[in-house]
Structure 1
């Protein structure tokens, strides 16, 4: 007789390979330039794996730098109630407990003890938005949902729901001890979106296009794609960072745009330069994703 009071894990689960140095195949690891030698227009190496959650319709696991992300897709699942002619769509993004969230002092209203990088916890974590999510988790969830929504053919799934659950296992800001960094917040949002797009493809849900994203930082007229965490002690006042999401096969249609920084200090041409940089990165990520799925079919 089974123990009904205990939650049993799903059958045939796969333990993810933690770290690029683990037993990964050539198809799983995209060998971009290393952090120390890459150019401003180059991407870092990232590890990608699909199908790691057996009981989900689609799943993906991604590592890049200090960021580790896991995404699961459930649906289309039937919903009760009145008939609706198209599926509903939702995204929920959560950090593991005790992981420092980027810009948490600003958005989550946390406090940090003197001489320590540990915070006392959010004092206003659920001021608005989704129940149970911090303000940062709500921001990331809303951005991912807004960017992915135009790509899904919801009309194909009436009276159904499609749900994406994102778990952030590690961030670069938590590893470096940074507390207020725009690049960390937008950087993790960028890779969460790319990982979520891969999970959607793995689920078999009909899509108009695969949404991919790019993130870029402009500082002192120098453009850097896929920026790493900038130390909170550096001068970030004259820095502009943005993440832009595209459907590249649909004439590079922009489906998501998030910018942090004082835009009044930058000209319109510089903002356009940032968007073009994000589009360049988005195309590179898209090419790698296409290569990954092609290799899995062989």
Structure 2
């Protein structure tokens, strides 16, 4: 008679197994990625967790000359009236010596002493990650994410490319904090050229007539879109172009997700 071991914690019967990317560990026995799953369009990146000792979770991220550090603090108790779910906030700041992208357009400061572009990045990250956190698990608490852009070359890299990698590094920091999540949010960034009809992933060089898009997804929840941002001539965007932009971002987010899965499981 087949008797179930009741001492073992079994996962749900309809659980989905995440795909894994190529491990950077030379001693790993993991099978290499098939040629069809490789992408030469996405640059190699470095990520490390747990470097901020006084944070509940953290990540350090490098890709070329872009360096991002993320710290997650919480859930921390708050005083005052009872709230049945945690509050959530994100603050992104550039170090003083960094020229912020699109500073000629967003050159004002708001009451929180963040520049307008810092506020816009913070709002995007907060919007994208908010739907993934099980806030009801942490009543009368607050969860805060602080993002520091340590290095960034605004003459070589676009704002949306920076936002893309900020989302990915922030998601890894959330996982490192141990906060319960519905899914890991990952992003992709693409550029569509109107003349050549070419779609380029993880591209930082913007030409005249290009339409740029960054979109964030929960891939294990039916590729649910949690946020997106489009720059360019929006009058030229139709339903077909929008679908191509979103699908391109989704393809890139899946590749990034596979590599993040591999890193997290190996650590």
Give the alignment of 1:1-298 within 5 angstroms: 26-27=24-25, 42-108=41-107, 124-126=108-110, 131-173=112-154, 177=155, 184-219=158-193, 220=195, 221-230=197-206, 235-236=207-208, 238-296=209-267
Structure 2 distance, partners of 1:162, 1:287, is 26
**Following TM superposition, by how much is the alpha carbon of 1:41 offset from its aligned partner in structure 2, in angstroms?**
6.1
When the two structures are superposed, what TM-score results if normalisation uses the length of structure 1? 0.75
Displacement of 1:228 after TM fit?
2.1
CA RMSD of aligned residues (A): 1.8
CA separation of 1:267/1:41 partners in 2, compared to 1, >3 Å: closer, same or farther? farther
Whether the aligned pair in 1 keeps the contact of 2:99 and 2:153 (CA below 8 Å) is no
Structure 1's unaligned 5+ residue stretches are 1-24, 29-38, 109-123
Query: Partners in 2 of 1:40 and 1:207 — Cα distance?
Result: 28
State the 4+ residue runs in structure 1 displaced beyond 4 angstroms. Answer: none
Q: Secondary structure at the match of 2:131?
A: helix
Describe the superposition over 1:112-164 as per-residue Cα deviations: whole angstroms up to 9, x where unpaired.
Answer: xxxxxxxxxxxx322xxx51100000000000000000000000000000000
**1:41 and 1:225 in contact (8 A); partners too:** no
TM-score (normalised: structure 2): 0.83
C-alpha displacement at 1:42, in angstroms? 2.3
Structure of higher RCO (CA pairs closer than 8 Å, 6+ residues apart): 2
- CA–CA separation in structure 1 for the residues paired with 2:176 and 2:25: 16
Distance 1:239 1:26 in 2: 34
Count of residue pairs brought into register by the alignment: 232
